[in-house]
Structure 1
Amino acid sequence: MTKNQRTGTRVGLCGLGQMGLPVAARLATAHDVLGYDITADRRTMAHQIERVTTTDRLADLAGCDTIVLSLPNPAISRTVLADLAPQLNTGTLVVETSTVLPSDVREWAQLLAPTGARVIDAAILSGVAQMSGGTATLLVGGDRADIEAAGPVLDALGGAGWSRFGDLGAGMAAKVVNNGVAHAVMVVLTEAFAMSRAEGLDLADIAAMLERPDGGLIRPLTHRVMERMAAADYDGGMPLEAARKDSTLALAMAQRSGTPLFAMQAAQSVYDLAMAAGFGRDDYAAVARLWEDWGGASLGFRPQTADDGADS
């Protein structure tokens, strides 16, 4: 297939791996799909999906008006686009769903600019199971017109919805933040359950406690962040010095039971710094002031409400 031989509404998909196969299946609910993967076995598996055909030539994807990337790492995305660029048509739209950095997506745009091709980022917030079940959520960044053009593809992939987070790279930035939180919280939760086991507590009771609206997992977001930090309201509430005391008790209990702590130990240092900065009588959400000082930018914001319109 040579340059300017378009496939009409057929969507190209590069990458048929663990996430790529369900991406192919979701795309095929609304589009004909041309899939490429370096591995023959993955192409064979994808070929079993109705409305999906496969190719062993990456260059064949250049004939598609829209090309979706579902690849393992930024280096592979960069290589794929560098190989495709000379063959792309003006107006070709690349949808990057692989998890990469915001700067990577902006680099892709610079790489493709001479060809007239465009790129948006559509980070997949959900996992493989959600994509397979049609309940995935997409975090999207890019030019509004490009995102509007990609709407049919985004609708097929984002069964639970999609939202524009901002300019190019914003979707990936949001995904990286989400993953950073998830992975750090996983360590904190593991420490918490190890401490609970060492104290003879029923772990099911601890899980039920933490998932409560007033539990230690949910309330820091819904109250400390979305109410106090958002409004820079640190008057009253639970004093930071009391929170530091409670943190010290957690460390002491873990030490007595021989439970190693890493994330909670690191968090204690933040409370020490906030105390030294004179925030002891403020609500403990005032730890945010440390990052405001270090970064030189306010962390205040207006939380979304049910009446706020989405971009999707």
Structure 2
Amino acid sequence: MTGRHIAFIGLGSMGSGMALRLLDSGFRVTVYNRTKERALPVAEAGAELADSAAQAAAAAEVLVLSVADEGAVEEILFHHIELRADVLVVNTSTVSPKYARDASARVEKTGARWIDACVIGNPSQAREGSMRVLASGAPEDVEAAKPMLTALGSSVIPLGPVGQAPAMKLAFNLLLGAQVASLADAVRYGERAGLDRDLLLAAIGVSGFSSKVMSFRADLMRSGEFQPAAFRTSLMLKDLRLVVEEARDLGLELTVTETASAYFERAVAAGKGDFDAAVIGEASA
């Protein structure tokens, strides 16, 4: 890597964990978050606290984005920051492959560079550095980012040109959304058929039909503890919409994914966007 000074923008549950992990790994980290209070625990751990995205990025060699959506990436990169020619942009935010390619092309016009670094894991894994990192971009740029990426993940998987990592991340999140929606259906059916909800969820969680994702969400549905969210319902809806739109551009119809998306859409409309995606298993969801 050209240097060890990282500007980290976006300190939600995943971003905070990643920023703290980078601090623990010996990187110099400057942080910025639109809601300043979220940045304070990371600053107290040793990060430099910037008053703006532009200030955070001013001297750093690497700019890491961990924000909610394409709109936030767009606003930060192309409206609030003047990119320098020597900066490597590392986008961990989940965006569409099409947007990643477009943003990368515009970043490169400034002389800066872009790689996708999509992360698979939860906030605890982000803090521990045990996520999987899906990386795509020019090989030399992915290689330059390797010290940082290996600090964040137990494995770093290079996938080729820009856009490939977002495509794989969306494929994974498609599976997540469909599994949680099918679990919610199984619980609704079981309850209506007279089964005890807790017994059903416990049985599903340890069955051969389960997965780590399904077992984790089954536990959340049993406890009713949906905050703090491991994966917010609003973000699940956003990702499912992205993959459905991308599939349409590719001439595909993803019927299961579109159906699952409707479950999360109803939950967000009911004011549960900040709850974990497992909230769709609630009877009122």
TM-score interval for Structure 1 and Structure 2 normalised by the shorter chain? 0.5 to 0.7
Q: Find the residue that maps to 1:19 and give its secondary structure.
A: helix
Cα displacement (A) at 1:212? 4.6
- Bigger drift between 13-22 and 149-158 goes to 13-22
| 1:137 aligns to 2:132 (yes or no) | yes
Aligned partner of 2:89 among 90, 94, 105: 94
CA contact (8 A) 2:9 2:65 kept: yes
- What's 1:163 paired with? 157
| Distance across 2 between alignment mates of 1:177 and 1:8 | 33
| Distance across 1 between alignment mates of 2:181 and 2:202 | 15
Cα displacement (A) at 1:195? 2.3
Aligned residues: 209
Q: Which has the larger radius of gyration?
A: 1
| Distance across 1 between alignment mates of 2:6 and 2:83 | 14
Cα displacement (A) at 1:143? 1.6
TM superposition score normalised by structure 2? 0.66
| Distance across 2 between alignment mates of 1:174 and 1:207 | 31
Q: Find the residue that maps to 2:89 and give its secondary structure.
A: strand
- What's 2:181 paired with? 187
Deviations 1:251-298 (CA, angstroms, capped at 9, x unpaired): xxxxxxxxxxxxxxxxxxxxxxxxxxxxxxxxxxxxxxxxxxx76xxx
Aligned partner of 2:8 among 2, 5, 13: 13
- What's 1:70 paired with? 66
Q: 1:76 to 1:210 in 2, by over 3 A?
A: closer
Report the AA paired with residue 10 of structure 2: G
CA contact (8 A) 2:190 2:200 kept: no
Cα displacement (A) at 1:154? 0.5
Cα displacement (A) at 1:209? 5.9
| Distance across 2 between alignment mates of 1:90 and 1:38 | 25
Aligned partner of 1:41 among 31, 37, 50: 37
Deviations 1:196-254 (CA, angstroms, capped at 9, x unpaired): 333344654675467555x4x57xxxxxxxxxxxxxxxxxxxxxxxxxxxxxxxxxxxx
TM superposition score normalised by structure 1? 0.61
Q: 1:205 to 1:8 in 2, by over 3 A?
A: closer
Q: 1:56 to 1:194 in 2, by over 3 A?
A: same
Aligned partner of 1:175 among 169, 172, 176: 169
| Distance across 2 between alignment mates of 1:156 and 1:83 | 30
CA contact (8 A) 1:63 1:88 kept: no
Give unpaired runs (5+ residues) of structure 2. Answer: 212-250, 253-285
Aligned partner of 2:113 among 118, 126, 133: 118
| Distance across 2 between alignment mates of 1:18 and 1:206 | 27
- What's 2:219 paired with? none
| 1:24 aligns to 2:19 (yes or no) | yes
Deviations 1:142-192 (CA, angstroms, capped at 9, x unpaired): 12111100001101111x322122321111111112112211211111211
CA contact (8 A) 1:196 1:206 kept: no
Report the AA paired with residue 173 of structure 2: N
| Distance across 2 between alignment mates of 1:43 and 1:209 | 39
CA contact (8 A) 2:18 2:129 kept: no
Q: Find the residue that maps to 1:33 and give its secondary structure.
A: strand
| Distance across 2 between alignment mates of 1:119 and 1:125 | 19
CA contact (8 A) 1:72 1:98 kept: yes
Q: CA RMSD in A?
A: 2.4
CA contact (8 A) 1:43 1:55 kept: no
- What's 1:244 paired with? none
| Distance across 1 between alignment mates of 2:33 and 2:87 | 20
| Distance across 2 between alignment mates of 1:207 and 1:190 | 14
